Amino acid sequence: MPLGYTFAMIKPSACRKNHVGPILAMINQSGFRISAIRSTKLNKEEAEHFYEIHKEKGFYDNLCEFMSSGPIIALLLEKENAIEDFRTLIGNTNPCMAEEGTIRKMFAESLQKNAVHGSDSVENAKREADYFFNERERY
């Protein structure tokens, strides 16, 4: 039985451009229930921790700079097969390659500023959700 939730984030660029409402509407319309939600801001160290899997990559420092540049929306999303279905809803990491109708196709500004994050595995969904939300914040 696939994990029934995933962790997602609306990135600083999409928050700055007031895309939060339309993105949340697409998430709900696609059958995800919002189990927890919070607006918060990562500092550079927190962004580095969140993306530590990419620390050897050339884009890492710039990515962490960007991810700590303004508020983000953290989301715990509930749905059967949530991880895979959310990755389908957001589309390819590179918006140029994302399918029509996906969140990244509609709201990404660039490969880095690609509007949203979605967990890529059960292990990461658990790790990321636990980092942002305690039990009392999940309904």
Give the separation between CA 26 and CA 123, rounded to whole angstroms.
Answer: 25
Indicate which single residue of 41, 46, 120, 126 sits in contact with Mg ion (rule: CB under 5 A): 120
**Are the CB atoms for 22 and 10 separated by under 8 Å?**
no
Binding partner at 111 among ligand ADP, Mg ion, none, C-beta below 5 to 8 Å by kind: ligand ADP
Smallest distance from ligand ADP to CB 18, Å? 20
* C-beta of 12 vs 79, nearer to ligand ADP: 12
**Are the CB atoms for 70 and 7 separated by under 8 Å?**
no
Amino acid at 135: E
Among 40, 68, 43, 47, CA closest to 137:
40
Binding partner at 138 among ligand ADP, Mg ion, none, C-beta below 5 to 8 Å by kind: none
Give the separation between CA 112 and CA 137, rounded to whole angstroms.
Answer: 29
Residue 117 a catalytic site member: yes
* C-beta of 43 vs 62, nearer to ligand ADP: 62
Interaction of residue 84 with ligand ADP, rule CB under 6 A: no
Query: In Å, how far are 30, 32, 56, 100 from 86, measured between CA atoms?
Result: 9, 8, 26, 15
Binding partner at 55 among Mg ion, ligand ADP, none, C-beta below 5 to 8 Å by kind: none
Active site residue ranges: 117
Residues in touch with ligand ADP (CB under 6 A): 54, 59, 63, 93, 111-112, 114, 117, 120
